[in-house]
């Protein structure tokens, strides 16, 4: 019987890691293609939800994607 390389009975690990669920400010800024200072401003003003863990913020990827949806322009 074949076992997955992860050993948890799940699908075999193909070597590609899935995109992380939690992002750092730097990762969120890169994903949004904006400066990290802007991401900090969005967090500070409540535009982008984030959790502060000690001295660093973590942002759910789904919240970054929701921000993009809210900021989408509508056709005229």
Instruction: Give DSSP secondary structure letters for 59-71.
Output: EEHHHHHHHHHHH
The overall average pLDDT reported for the chain is 85
Q: Using CA atoms, how far apart are residues 39 and 68, in angstroms rounded to an integer?
A: 12
What pLDDT, on a 0 to 100 scale, did the predictor assign at position 15?
55
Q: How many CB atoms lie within 10 A of CB 20?
A: 11
Residue 55 has pLDDT above 90, yes or no: yes
What pLDDT, on a 0 to 100 scale, did the predictor assign at position 20?
79
- Per the model's pLDDT, the better-predicted residue between 75 and 2 turns out to be 75
Burial class (CB in 10 A: 0-12, 13-18, 19+), 71: exposed
What pLDDT, on a 0 to 100 scale, did the predictor assign at position 2?
47
Q: Using CA atoms, how far apart are residues 18 and 35, in angstroms rounded to an integer?
A: 24
Of residues 17, 19, 21, the one with CA closest to residue 60: 21
């Amino acid at each position: 019987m074949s076992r997955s390389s992860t050993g948890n009975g799940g699908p075999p690990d193909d070597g590609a890691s899935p995109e992380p669920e939690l992002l750092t400010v730097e990762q969120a800024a890169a994903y949004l293609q904006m400066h990290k200072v802007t991401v900090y401003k969005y967090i500070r003003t409540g535009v982008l939800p984030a959790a502060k863990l000690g001295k660093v913020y973590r942002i759910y990827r789904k919240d970054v994607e929701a921000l993009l949806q809210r900021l989408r322009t509508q056709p005229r």
